[in-house]
Amino acid sequence: MKPVIFGLSGPTLTADEAALFREADPLGYILFGRNCVDRGQMRALTDALRDLSGRADVPILIDQEGGRVARMRAPEWPAFPAPAVFAGLYDRAPSSAIAAAKANGQAIGTMLAEVGVTVDALPLLDVAQPDMTGAIGDRSYGADPMQVAALGRATLDGLAAAGVVGIVKHMPGHGRARVDSHHELPRVDASDAELAIDLQPFVTLAHAPMAMTAHVVFSAWDADRPATLSPTVIREIIRERIGFDGLLMTDDIDMKALSGTPAEKAAAAIAAGCDVVLDCWARMAEMTAIADRLDAIAPKSRARLDQAMAGAGLGSEVPFAELVAKRDELLALA
């Protein structure tokens, strides 16, 4: 197994993709809007990926946050609130906001489980700042670390109740970035004491099964390399100070914040201490180069994967409509 998660080009596997995936045996796959047509198509696609890998618990990821970040969209699937909506309720009724976030997470998870998706890239634990990039914006649960942790935990628990694994992101924090890492490399010059505030939600949820790194330079910790490529940040901040020992994946390796070829960036991320590389765009030449460049997954990373996926598919059966109704009743309090 290679420590990489690959994207797919369309609603069905192509012959070339099937051949590459069969040979490379990537750790998992990630789906985007181009892969999501309807329930029957998605279930057939995820079943095909499981059959191809030979692993019933192969991670099949999606970014289904709610708000503007949603790959499964209307009219086939309902819209979900942006995370900031729960932050608004938290200001008035914290316990109701937590209950609403959990019901929402379980509703999202129920929808994903129906089509065979096992991992959701949610929740964001990025603490909001007044001048943060719009790339985070209403995707954040707020500016108070305790609030972010509480709503993040509720979302994580809701997903788990539906048998879906959550990913906390963007570790060690993207809230102070002023530019969008999809397009350029953010640099954060805050002090260690200031950054300690951003770490708090991640410390609180250090038990999370999976986490995603931030393509951000933190000059207080490593002035030369973004967190994704920094052995210092991964070892001293993420693994030791936060205390996270789950499966650590990169954000999309093809984002413009990182320089070099996709294969070079992938190798550098694994060398820095990431467990797995995320490569989203289904470009055959790039996927082949990454697979050729990477060695087999390390035993420690494989153990983290197995631990993270242990709860996948073990959700309770609560009707989707009941969960949505509970969420909406609570959100009406705002």
pLDDT tens across 67-116, in order? 999 999 999 999 999 999 999 999 999 999 999 999 999 999 999 999 99
Q: Tell me the percentage of the chain whose pLDDT exceeds 70.
A: 100
- Name the nearest CA neighbour of 277 among 257, 260, 291, 288: 291
- Mean pLDDT confidence for 14-20: 98
Encoded tokens for 116: 């065979």
**pLDDT for res 334:** 78
pTM exceeds 0.95, yes or no: yes
Note the pLDDT of residue 219: 97
Q: What is the pLDDT of residues 139-184, one digit of tens each?
A: 999 999 999 999 999 999 999 999 999 999 999 999 998 877 887 8
pLDDT attached to residue 183: 77
| pLDDT-derived band at 307, boundaries 50, 70, 90 | very high
285 Cβ neighbours under 8 A, 6+ residues apart: none
Average pLDDT over residues 230-253: 98
Q: Write the pLDDT tens digit of every residue in 262-281.
A: 999 999 999 999 999 999 99
- Phi/psi region, residue 66 (left: phi>0; alpha: psi -120 to 50; beta: rest), is left
Identity of residue 12: T
Q: What phi and psi values does residue 184 have, to the nearest 5 degrees?
A: -155, 165
For 127-137, the pLDDT digits (tens) are: 999 888 888 88
Contact residues for 194 (Cβ-Cβ < 8 A; gap 6+): 176
Residues marked as catalytic = 182, 251
* Residue-wise DSSP of 241-296: II---SEEEEEETTSTTS-S-HHHHHHHHHHHT-SEEEE-S--HHHHHHHHHH--P
Q: How far apart are CA 101 and CA 151, in angstroms?
A: 6
Confidence label for 248 from pLDDT (cuts 50, 70 and 90): very high
pLDDT range class, residue 257, cuts 50, 70, 90: confident
pLDDT number for residue 171: 98
Q: How confident is the model at residue 316 (pLDDT cuts 50, 70, 90)?
A: confident
Q: What is the pLDDT of residue 127?
A: 96
Could you give the C-alpha distances from 241 to 143, 244, 275, 277, in angstroms and in order? 21, 8, 18, 22
Rounded to whole angstroms, how far apart are CA atoms 90 and 147? Answer: 8
CATH architecture type of domain 2-331: Alpha-Beta Barrel (3.20)
Averaged pLDDT for residues 235-255 = 97
**Chain mean pLDDT for the chain:** 96
- Top pLDDT among 179 and 51 is at 51
- Which residue from 39, 32, 44 is spatially nearest to 75, judged by alpha carbons? 39
Q: What is the mean pLDDT of residues 51-74?
A: 96
* 311, pLDDT greater than 90: no
Interstrand relation of 165-171 and 247-252 (parallel, antiparallel or unpaired): unpaired
279 versus 311: the higher-pLDDT residue is 279
pLDDT confidence of residue 160: 97
| Residue 312 pLDDT > 80 | yes
**What was the pLDDT predicted at 45?**
98
